[in-house]
Amino acid sequence: MHDRSPIAIVGAGIAGLTMALCLARQGFEADILEQAEALEEVGAGLQLSPNASRILIELGLLPQLQAVWSEPVAIVLADGYSLRPLARVPAGSNARGRWAAPYGVLHRASLQRILLDAVQSEPRCRLHLGTRIAGDPAEAIVDAIGRRPAAIVGADGIRSEVRAAVPGAGCVRFSGNVAWRLMIPRAQAADCLSGDRVTAFLGPDAHLVAYPIRETDSFNLVAIASGRPADEAWAGHNSEERQRVLAAAFECWHASLLSMLKNAASATYWPLFTVDDGAWHNGRDIVLIGDAAHAMTPFAAQGAAMAIEDARELAHCLAGCADPSSAFARYEGTRKPRIGRVRSRGAINRFAYHARGPLRVGRDLILALRSPEALAADLDWLYGYGAAGR
């Protein structure tokens, strides 16, 4: 787009704020429209793999990230029943060396705050809170800001309203899995949790991921198992009933892990939804990024990373094409194969993490034969994406 006309972004989460910054770096002005009156990020921890941190570093955010995140020395798979280590992928300095960017863990709210501060310091970005975009996005945006944008980016998440304006867009589906998210103070954490690594404990039909959150001196836990798509009144909040359901899903696990889950002060319950493969743009003026386009389950820990990658790629496409429709086609052509491959990796991880019976035994035998170096090499296509020479 040669005239660099202003672009509207619907949604001020990680996807939308990153999109605004990437557009600003390409010389575009961006209006970010967010229905919330104030930005209060829900959720807890977040893993930023090198393919995502590399883009945030390009945006000049490394000092802010280093002030709040931790760089785990390894990503470890362990048996949830015995605590026996099964596999180890080096991270820390190895991540910086191998994938040319850090692997960091931090609170999701910290990343949103960093992105928000950067947006508010960027003259090309304008944030409009308390502004809901419903119905025809173009007309709603004109009503909200008094002008028609050159393009509209739907970054409004899994329940996107902008997606309804894209014919052939994917449908939202319940994955069959739910995630319990907990924050455990370090003093109350099980001894098997390590402050210098990400650990995924595996068991039949369930797994538990734990890693340190530096700012709160705590551990972030995400427990994923089969479940039901609870209604709004049940999901996302704590109750004794949900605590019992959580304990039941992990009742045969190692006593130290089960005791920690039972005694946790709170456990928020999040049904995991996905968006089917479908159209990401309307061929004219509307395009989707992040969860609005392709929400996926967290088995590859790449949801936020894919949104960040989308933002960078779309900004480059808009800067390099004469009109939005050409930019959208190039963006979709580049990103869809990547998203498909990440989805496939997530499906493999889901199968492996939740294996039971003979499949579980076979998984453990295969992992025992793989060296840390070999396991890291398996991730080069994922974590090395965007590095020089790749």
Give catalytic residues, as residue numbers: 211
Q: Are strands 104-107 and 45-48 parallel, antiparallel or unpaired?
A: antiparallel
Ramachandran class of 22: left when φ > 0, alpha when ψ lies in -120 to 50, beta otherwise: alpha
Q: Which amino acid is at 26?
A: Q
Altogether, the residues listed in the chain come to a count of 390
Q: Which amino acid is at 376?
A: A
Q: Which two tokens stand for residue 34?
A: 């967010």
Q: DSSP string of 305-362?
A: HHHHHHHHHHHHHHHHSSSHHHHHHHHHHHHHHHHHHHHHHHHHHHHHHT--HHHHHH
Residues 144-168 as b/e (b if ≥16 CB within 10 A, e otherwise) read bbeeebbbbbbbbbeebbbbebbee
Q: Distance (Å, rounded) from C-alpha 197 to C-alpha 191?
A: 13
Q: Which two tokens stand for residue 82?
A: 């015995």
For residue 61, give every residue at least 6 positions away whose Cβ sits within 8 Å of its Cβ, in sequence order, or none: 114, 115, 118
Cα maximum dimension of the chain: 63
How far is residue 183 from each of residues 219, 275, 322, measured CA to CA in Å? 6, 28, 48
Q: Which amino acid is at 165?
A: A
Contact in structure between 299 and 225 (CB atoms under 8 Å):
no
Contact in structure between 55 and 100 (CB atoms under 8 Å):
no
For residue 377, give every residue at least 6 positions away whose Cβ sits within 8 Å of its Cβ, in sequence order, or none: none
CA torsion through residues 3, 336, 269, 215, sign? negative
Q: Which two tokens stand for residue 233?
A: 């009144």
Identify the residue whose tokens are 């690594």. Answer: 197
